[in-house]
Amino acid sequence: MDYIRNIDGGFSVIENLKVSGAREGKYGVSIILCPNSTASGVFTSNKVVAAPVKYTKNVLKKGIVSAVFINSGNANCFTGEQGFKDCETLVELVARDLKLPKDEIAISSTGVIGREMPIDTISKVAYESLSNLGNQPENSLAAAKAIMTTDTFPKECAVEVTLTTGEVVKIAGITKGSGMIAPNMGTMLSFIVTDAVIPAKEINNALKQAADISFNMIVVDGDESTNDTCLLMANGASGVEAVKDGKIDENFQEALNYLCIDLAKKMARDGEGATKFIEANVCGAKDLNDARLAAKSIISSSLFKSAVFGGDPNWGRIVSAIGYSGCDLNPDIVTIAIADDSDEVDLVKNGEILAFEDTPYLERAEKIMQSKNVIVNIDLDLGDFEATAWGCDLTYDYVKINAEYTT
């Protein structure tokens, strides 16, 4: 796709956009200033929903977002009426400082559930972040760092895309996510801005399509967060319309998909305690749902994730995961292979088992399982649909991190 190009600088590549980030200990605040942007979002499907998720859903009814407030260190979830009051307090703080309407300010939080917001500390960090707003690469990086919790590195991406009309627009985004990641939208926090001109309805459709093949296809631990939020904002700074006859430009959609997949894979690589990256590719499914079920089941399997950590070529765990995924499966025709960046070996070919003990197939599989990138390729041979999911291994450190999360 030569019409999509990676560019450096994160949010700084978007004109008429300012961002910032600041921290004090475990508490961070990022601000995104994007005046009069059309916007939409996708959110967690957890029945326990954090106060900022409910607050932002209400803001999005207007379809315009001019600023986003994000804090880390406290989820502001299961905090009762006080949680909503804290959202209002923080939004009013931003509204006064930036002279913006309160109903155009979205809010998002990440951190410990069931703890009252340390409003004095968060407000202090918020003022510091507001004083540092800018449009340089270091501002974007600071914003990406301030929203981190157990993440080990900041996650940002920016692309330039040539539309089918020949005009050029940019898309940039940051995300955070390391644990409590499961495929059910959005399993993380992600904030994306484009300088294209896009009505809110088309933004919603484009974001949902991108999320379905990216953020909804990653698994670290199978636990779905209460705060999952992904916002897409279009500030129109380029003056270029990315919608024609009510449909999003196909090149723009591909670029948005690309950016979201890049951010999603970075989260999977940074899974809590992770040492290896897993990709599961499923083709030959009878429908798209089956392809996604099988792919997600493989990277969700605690047994297989543990095998990847130990470098154990126990491919029976792959078979088992596909079998209970809910997808249609005929064991007599399925093909199962594993690969890394330099080799691929069939374990089962059209239903024929190749990787018995002491076979060269199993020996090659064992070497592949030692790699940092482990790829599982499945052909169900039942149709024409395919899907890809991403995850990581399950390690001792994952247990340690989560055993000591609040202490």
Q: Is it the case that residue 336 has pLDDT exceeding 60?
A: yes
Give percent above pLDDT 70 in the chain.
Answer: 95
Backbone torsions φ then ψ of 197, nearest 5 degrees: -95, 115
For 160-169, 233-242, 352-361, which range has the lowest pLDDT when averaged over its residues?
Answer: 352-361
| Of 27, 29, 94, nearest in space to 65 by CA | 94
For helices 288-300 and 302-310, the axis angle rounded to 10 degrees is 50
Average pLDDT, the chain: 92
Q: Give the pLDDT of residue 403.
A: 75
Task: Give the separation between CA 167 and CA 176, rounded to whole angstroms.
Answer: 31
Instruction: Render 283-331 in DSSP notation, one character per residue.
Output: EEESSHHHHHHHHHHHHH-HHHHHHHHHT---THHHHHHHHTSSS---T
Q: Give the pLDDT of residue 186.
A: 42
Q: Which positions are annotated as active-site residues? A: 187
Please name the amino acid found at residue 217: M
For the residues 311-337, what does the mean pLDDT come to? 95
Q: Give the pLDDT of residue 363.
A: 95
Q: Give the pLDDT of residue 185.
A: 42
On whether the CB atoms of residues 66 and 104 are closer than 8 A, the answer is yes
For 1-10, 77-86, 184-193, which range has the lowest pLDDT when averaged over its residues?
Answer: 184-193
Give percent above pLDDT 90 in the chain.
Answer: 81
Q: What is the pLDDT of residues 154-201, one digit of tens each?
A: 999 999 999 999 999 999 999 997 644 454 444 479 999 999 999 988
Query: In which residue are the tokens 């994000």 written?
Result: 70
For 48-52, 72-76, 233-237, 280-284, which range has the lowest pLDDT when averaged over its residues?
Answer: 48-52
Task: Give the separation between CA 407 and CA 403, rounded to whole angstroms.
Answer: 8
How crowded is residue 61: how many other Cβ atoms within 10 Å of its Cβ? 9
**373 by DSSP, 3-state: which?**
strand
Handedness of CA 212, 217, 222, 225 (dihedral sign): negative
Q: Which domains does the chain have, with CATH numbers?
A: 4-269 (3.60.70.12), 277-403 (3.10.20.340)
Q: Using 50, 70 and 90 to split pLDDT, how confident is the model at 113? A: confident
Q: What is the pLDDT of residues 116-159, one digit of tens each?
A: 999 999 999 999 999 999 999 999 999 999 999 888 899 999 99
Handedness of CA 87, 94, 186, 274 (dihedral sign): negative
Q: What is the pTM of this model?
A: 0.92
Q: Give the pLDDT of residue 224.
A: 63
Q: What is the pLDDT of residues 282-311, one digit of tens each?
A: 999 999 999 999 999 999 999 999 999 999
Q: What angle do CA 152, 153, 156 make, to 5 degrees?
A: 150
Tell me, what DSSP letter sits at residue 225?
A: P
On whether the CB atoms of residues 53 and 44 are closer than 8 A, the answer is yes
What distances in angstroms separate CA 35 from CA 112, 175, 232, 235, 263, one per listed residue? 31, 21, 13, 7, 24
Q: Is it the case that residue 48 has pLDDT exceeding 60?
A: yes
| Of 121, 113, 92, nearest in space to 44 by CA | 113
Burial per residue of 279-314, b for 16 or more beta-carbon CB atoms within 10 angstroms, e otherwise:
bbbbbbbeeeebbbbbbbbbbbbeebbebbbeeebe
* Ordered alpha helix ranges (H), 158-270: 200-212, 250-269
| Of 248, 109, 113, nearest in space to 171 by CA | 248
Q: Give the pLDDT of residue 221.
A: 58
Please name the amino acid found at residue 8: D
Q: Give the pLDDT of residue 133.
A: 98
